[in-house]
Amino acid sequence: MNQGTWDKIRVVQYGCGKMGRILMRYLLEKGAEIVGAIDTDESIIDHDIGEIAGLNRQTGIKVKCHEETVLDNCDADIAILALQSYLPDMHKPILECVTRGINVITTSEEALYPWTTSPAITNQLDALAKRTGCTIVGSGMQDVFWVNFPALIAGGVHKISEIEGAVSYNVEDYGIALARAHGVGLTPEEFEKTVAHSLSMPAYVWNSNEALCMKMGWSIEKTQQKAIPVLADHDVKSETLGQVIKKGNAIGMSAVVTTLTHQGIVVETQCIGKVYEKGEGDLCEFTIHGEPDTRFSVSKPDTVAHTCATIVNRIPDVLHAPAGFFTMDKLPIPRHQTYPMFLNIGEC
Amino acid sequence: MNQGTWDKIRVVQYGCGKMGRILMRYLLEKGAEIVGAIDTDESIIDHDIGEIAGLNRQTGIKVKCHEETVLDNCDADIAILALQSYLPDMHKPILECVTRGINVITTSEEALYPWTTSPAITNQLDALAKRTGCTIVGSGMQDVFWVNFPALIAGGVHKISEIEGAVSYNVEDYGIALARAHGVGLTPEEFEKTVAHSLSMPAYVWNSNEALCMKMGWSIEKTQQKAIPVLADHDVKSETLGQVIKKGNAIGMSAVVTTLTHQGIVVETQCIGKVYEKGEGDLCEFTIHGEPDTRFSVSKPDTVAHTCATIVNRIPDVLHAPAGFFTMDKLPIPRHQTYPMFLNIGEC
């Protein structure tokens, strides 16, 4: 194939759980090529990704559990890491890709803007990625809806004193790791001892608040959070935990994250992650207090679908970005990618 | 002053009516310098703009009616034209600026994306602006809220079959020219004879639909509109017309504009402009039909304030854009400008 022409984007799907399966379907529908799939779940190892992703065909690519073997035996342009929420848990999987010069995009919520919450890991990965010539980006729902959305609307506002937001999601949609991080199933006392004061666990809006400040050109004075358990007022079944949460125990948490800036502008976002009951929908609403006051929202956003769609739409931006841990505040705004989504190998 | 440093942005306000007064206050609050003000309204000629804009101070700049004298006697970086909605009416005022090499930003709704609705005028102005080295941009509410807003949300969506929107505004807020273009006060018969079939009067969402398609990378097959009068069901007072609109006559119109694309995706926006009654608010809501279906809205947007804020926030983009009629679909997304808003004269 000649330079300056188009090629399929070659992707390794790293993590083939709830999100990974949707991501693989979206990738195949957009014309990307999945060249490897990694997961440690024994129930899906050696299964064809066409089956895992709910397509009615075999692709010849099977889920494997040894990431090194998969990564060494294909020429992937990028790996999608749909694994854990926090960067310390993501350090090794990202390293496996970056040491091989494979670009990374991840659903890890902390990776959206981890410069202050995990500075040592972020800087180490940034330096390594620059040496191996690849790019690391964290994206998902928050990229479009929690950061770029309020930043865009702010472009139509004259004066701003505060940006106030509330988002929510169903912890049942994201697997066991996220449910545990939200204290699902804990007694109030257990919640108070663990999740409530755990500063090593920033709420997801901590990272999105700070990314928003960066996009707005505001310098951060400090970010603080309060984590409040959301307690069940009757027994609630959690499919993810595979157990009934007793009345009085936590079905999740509400984190109120307040970011103060040296410009005097406050960004405060409430992030509610809990086990939903029937009929409940996600929340995504913001108010800019200023001139004029401006309220805007997405009605019951399908957070899982938006996360997967945003990740897939972001891939060309990652491939064209400079090397390093290149957080989304520095990328152009996400664009809807039309079909097929190819890589112009004459560019960058 | 040295090159590579900062300078105040020098602005001529051309049109000092309802919008112009707010624009001037926003400009002064953001640290721009108003170096001239033009209006033909005898009641404000020779009045200080500090008074006109509702500030409690004199600026020394007075409203003048002869545009040539004003434009010839200052070194303006940009003129803000808040005059008429349609480009044929804006041709001469834009020419006056562009022949002098003065950049133009205008609230003219057609100017948002006039390539298909007024192609001859647009191309002539584009060629002239390139010769004199200046830029013409149409902006306002539609820029952030009708074009960039759905385009951004589309970045979080996997598949799109249709974008459906509904926007409204109070024709009382925009002066007599806009009210007449909406058929306010006409009988149903007069409306049918004039506004209903007047293809020389594209609804404002015609231009925003097409700008949205350009931003999305969709090629336009055709755009069509239906104009339906909104009839008063009781007598309604119009402050702008200075008269009571009799029951059964038009208080405005609803235009349904459908843009078909060669990609098979449809953009259909309903644009309701009418005389509001007490308690009514503006509408700005969109649905992307696709995977997933996505509904998003701004709650009762303050259309006048958002138009003025967007225009002022857009000024640095205009000053840094290439010469020509450079429509907003090609500009970066609007950014909230912090204080003071200066021009880096070392750039571009």
Tell me how far apart the alpha carbons of residues A85 and B22 are, in angstroms, rounded to a whole number: 46
What residues have CB less than 8 Å from A180, skipping those under 6 apart? none
Residue type, B285: E
A66 vs A343, more confident = A66
What's the whole-number mean pLDDT along residues A317-322? 96
Å from B17 to nearest chain A CA?
Answer: 19
Å from A264 to nearest chain B CA?
Answer: 12
First to last CA, chain A: 17
Percent of chain A with pLDDT over 90: 83
pLDDT tens for residues B104-153? 999 999 999 999 999 999 999 999 999 999 999 999 999 999 999 999 99
Where is average pLDDT lowest: B102-116, B155-169, B184-198, B244-258?
A: B184-198
Whether residue B229 lies within 8 A of chain A, CB to CB, comes out as no
Q: What phi, psi does A174 have (nearest 5°)?
A: -125, 10
Q: How confident is the model at residue B2 (pLDDT cuts 50, 70, 90)?
A: very low
pLDDT tens for residues B7-61? 889 999 999 999 999 999 999 999 999 999 999 999 999 999 999 999 989 999 9
Residue B3: pLDDT over 60:
no
Taking CB atoms and an 8 Å limit, are A158 and B301 in contact across chains? no
Residue B347: pLDDT over 50:
no
What's the whole-number mean pLDDT along residues A202-216? 95
Tell me how far apart the alpha carbons of residues A257 and B299 are, in angstroms, rounded to a whole number: 24
Q: How confident is the model at residue A347 (pLDDT cuts 50, 70, 90)?
A: very low
Element containing residue A256 per DSSP (H, E):
strand A250-261
pLDDT score recorded for residue B343: 73
Closest-CA residue of B relative to A158 is: B309
Taking CB atoms and an 8 Å limit, are B297 and A294 in contact across chains? no
Whether residue B151 lies within 8 A of chain A, CB to CB, comes out as yes
pLDDT tens for residues A94-150? 999 999 999 999 999 999 999 999 999 999 999 999 999 999 999 999 999 999 999
Å from B159 to nearest chain A CA?
Answer: 8
pLDDT tens for residues B262-280? 999 999 999 999 999 888 8
pLDDT tens for residues A17-32? 999 999 999 999 999 9
Q: How confident is the model at residue A198 (pLDDT cuts 50, 70, 90)?
A: low
Q: How confident is the model at residue B1 (pLDDT cuts 50, 70, 90)?
A: very low
What's the whole-number mean pLDDT along residues B286-306? 97
Percent of chain A with pLDDT over 70: 97
Taking CB atoms and an 8 Å limit, are B291 and A306 in contact across chains? no
Q: How confident is the model at residue B200 (pLDDT cuts 50, 70, 90)?
A: low
Residue A196 has, within 13 A of its CA and on its CB side, a CA count of 12
- Using CA atoms, how far residue A164 sits from A183, A258, A289, B330, in Å, is 25, 9, 8, 30
What ipTM score was computed for the predicted complex, to two decimals?
A: 0.91
